[in-house]
Protein backbone atom coordinates (compact mmCIF):
# COMPACT_ATOMS: atom_id res chain seq x y z
CA UNK A 1 0.00 0.00 0.00
CA UNK A 2 1.19 3.47 -0.84
CA UNK A 3 -0.66 6.04 1.21
CA UNK A 4 -1.08 8.53 -1.58
CA UNK A 5 -4.76 9.49 -1.37
CA UNK A 6 -4.77 13.09 -2.61
CA UNK A 7 -6.79 15.97 -1.14
CA UNK A 8 -7.71 17.31 -4.58
CA UNK A 9 -11.29 16.34 -5.52
CA UNK A 10 -10.27 16.39 -9.19
CA UNK A 11 -8.20 13.25 -8.58
CA UNK A 12 -11.30 11.13 -7.99
CA UNK A 13 -13.34 9.30 -10.61
CA UNK A 14 -16.69 9.26 -8.81
CA UNK A 15 -18.31 10.96 -5.83
CA UNK A 16 -21.00 9.46 -3.63
CA UNK A 17 -23.14 11.46 -1.20
CA UNK A 18 -24.49 10.18 2.09
CA UNK A 19 -25.73 11.62 5.35
CA UNK A 20 -24.36 10.92 8.82
CA UNK A 21 -26.66 8.77 10.96
CA UNK A 22 -27.07 9.50 14.63
CA UNK A 23 -25.95 5.96 15.51
CA UNK A 24 -22.61 6.65 13.79
CA UNK A 25 -21.67 9.34 16.31
CA UNK A 26 -20.01 8.72 19.67
CA UNK A 27 -19.82 10.38 23.08
CA UNK A 28 -17.27 12.89 21.76
CA UNK A 29 -20.19 14.28 19.74
CA UNK A 30 -18.64 13.45 16.37
CA UNK A 31 -18.66 10.53 13.95
CA UNK A 32 -16.80 7.55 15.40
CA UNK A 33 -13.64 6.74 13.48
CA UNK A 34 -14.83 3.23 12.58
CA UNK A 35 -17.91 4.59 10.79
CA UNK A 36 -15.72 5.94 8.00
CA UNK A 37 -15.02 2.37 6.84
CA UNK A 38 -18.75 1.95 6.28
CA UNK A 39 -18.76 5.15 4.22
CA UNK A 40 -15.87 3.90 2.08
CA UNK A 41 -17.60 0.58 1.56
CA UNK A 42 -20.90 2.19 0.56
CA UNK A 43 -19.05 4.46 -1.86
CA UNK A 44 -17.11 1.55 -3.37
CA UNK A 45 -20.36 -0.31 -3.98
CA UNK A 46 -22.02 2.72 -5.60
CA UNK A 47 -18.98 3.30 -7.80
CA UNK A 48 -19.01 -0.30 -9.00
CA UNK A 49 -22.72 0.06 -9.76
CA UNK A 50 -22.10 3.32 -11.65
CA UNK A 51 -19.55 1.66 -13.93
CA UNK A 52 -21.81 -1.30 -14.63
CA UNK A 53 -20.22 -3.79 -12.26
CA UNK A 54 -22.72 -4.11 -9.39
CA UNK A 55 -21.03 -5.82 -6.45
CA UNK A 56 -23.97 -8.06 -5.61
CA UNK A 57 -23.82 -9.38 -9.19
CA UNK A 58 -20.05 -9.93 -8.89
CA UNK A 59 -20.71 -11.84 -5.68
CA UNK A 60 -23.44 -13.90 -7.40
CA UNK A 61 -20.81 -14.79 -10.01
CA UNK A 62 -18.47 -15.93 -7.23
CA UNK A 63 -16.12 -12.93 -6.99
CA UNK A 64 -15.41 -11.03 -3.77
CA UNK A 65 -13.06 -8.18 -2.97
CA UNK A 66 -12.03 -8.66 0.68
CA UNK A 67 -10.24 -5.72 2.29
CA UNK A 68 -6.63 -6.71 2.97
CA UNK A 69 -5.38 -3.29 4.06
CA UNK A 70 -6.98 -0.02 5.08
CA UNK A 71 -5.50 3.31 6.11
CA UNK A 72 -7.32 6.44 7.20
CA UNK A 73 -6.15 9.95 7.97
CA UNK A 74 -8.75 11.92 9.90
CA UNK A 75 -8.49 15.67 9.39
CA UNK A 76 -11.72 17.26 10.55
CA UNK A 77 -14.55 15.62 12.48
CA UNK A 78 -17.94 14.92 10.93
CA UNK A 79 -21.13 15.46 12.89
CA UNK A 80 -24.65 14.10 12.99
CA UNK A 81 -26.70 14.95 9.89
CA UNK A 82 -23.70 16.21 7.90
CA UNK A 83 -23.95 15.56 4.19
CA UNK A 84 -20.75 13.75 3.30
CA UNK A 85 -19.16 13.58 -0.15
CA UNK A 86 -16.91 10.59 -0.73
CA UNK A 87 -14.70 10.59 -3.82
CA UNK A 88 -13.24 7.29 -4.96
CA UNK A 89 -10.76 6.15 -7.59
CA UNK A 90 -8.93 2.93 -8.42
CA UNK A 91 -5.40 4.07 -7.65
CA UNK A 92 -3.50 1.00 -8.79
CA UNK A 93 -3.99 -2.66 -9.64
CA UNK A 94 -1.54 -5.52 -9.79
CA UNK A 95 -2.06 -9.19 -10.44
CA UNK A 96 -3.36 -10.08 -6.99
CA UNK A 97 -4.54 -6.85 -5.34
CA UNK A 98 -5.87 -3.42 -6.20
CA UNK A 99 -5.90 -0.15 -4.27
CA UNK A 100 -8.69 2.41 -4.00
CA UNK A 101 -8.23 5.97 -2.75
CA UNK A 102 -10.93 8.05 -1.11
CA UNK A 103 -11.50 11.67 -0.21
CA UNK A 104 -14.15 12.16 2.47
CA UNK A 105 -15.39 15.73 2.49
CA UNK A 106 -18.15 17.90 3.89
CA UNK A 107 -19.08 21.34 2.60
CA UNK A 108 -16.02 21.46 0.39
CA UNK A 109 -13.62 20.74 3.27
CA UNK A 110 -11.60 17.54 3.48
CA UNK A 111 -12.60 15.42 6.45
CA UNK A 112 -10.44 12.38 5.76
CA UNK A 113 -8.26 10.77 3.11
CA UNK A 114 -8.31 7.00 2.98
CA UNK A 115 -6.97 3.97 1.19
CA UNK A 116 -8.23 0.41 0.94
CA UNK A 117 -6.38 -2.48 -0.67
CA UNK A 118 -8.41 -5.46 -1.83
CA UNK A 119 -7.69 -9.01 -2.75
CA UNK A 120 -9.84 -10.96 -5.18
CA UNK A 121 -11.23 -14.35 -4.19
CA UNK A 122 -13.50 -16.79 -5.95
CA UNK A 123 -16.60 -18.48 -4.56
CA UNK A 124 -14.46 -20.98 -2.62
CA UNK A 125 -12.42 -18.20 -1.03
CA UNK A 126 -9.34 -18.94 -3.17
CA UNK A 127 -7.25 -15.97 -4.29
CA UNK A 128 -7.66 -15.22 -7.96
CA UNK A 129 -6.41 -12.60 -10.41
CA UNK A 130 -7.61 -9.00 -10.46
CA UNK A 131 -10.10 -8.77 -13.36
CA UNK A 132 -8.95 -6.99 -16.50
CA UNK A 133 -11.64 -4.30 -16.26
CA UNK A 134 -10.27 -3.31 -12.82
CA UNK A 135 -6.71 -3.12 -14.11
CA UNK A 136 -7.94 -0.96 -16.96
CA UNK A 137 -9.67 1.39 -14.52
CA UNK A 138 -6.40 1.81 -12.64
CA UNK A 139 -4.56 2.62 -15.84
CA UNK A 140 -7.20 5.15 -16.96
Q: Which residues bind a second copy (CB under 8 A)?
A: 3, 19, 21-23, 25-30, 32-35, 37-38, 41-42, 45, 54-56, 59, 64, 66-74, 77, 79-81
The closest alpha carbon to 35, from 21, 19, 24, 23, belongs to 24
36 CA to centre of own chain = 9
Q: How far is the CB of 42 from a second copy (least distance, A)?
A: 5
**Distance of alpha carbon 119 from alpha carbon 14, whole angstroms:** 21
DSSP for 76-91 reads S---TT-EEEEEEEEE
Catalytic residue status for 26: yes
**Distance of alpha carbon 64 from alpha carbon 77, whole angstroms:** 31
Q: How far is the CB of 54 from a second copy (least distance, A)?
A: 7
Which is nearer to a second copy, 4 or 41 (by Cβ)? 41
Catalytic one among 4, 26, 81, 122?
A: 26
Q: How far is the CB of 28 from a second copy (least distance, A)?
A: 6
Active site residue ranges? 26
Amino acid sequence: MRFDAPSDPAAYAFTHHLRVRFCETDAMGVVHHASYLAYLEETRVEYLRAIGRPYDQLRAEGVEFPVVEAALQYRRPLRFDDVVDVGVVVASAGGATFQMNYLVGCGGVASATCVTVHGVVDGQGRPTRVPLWLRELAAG
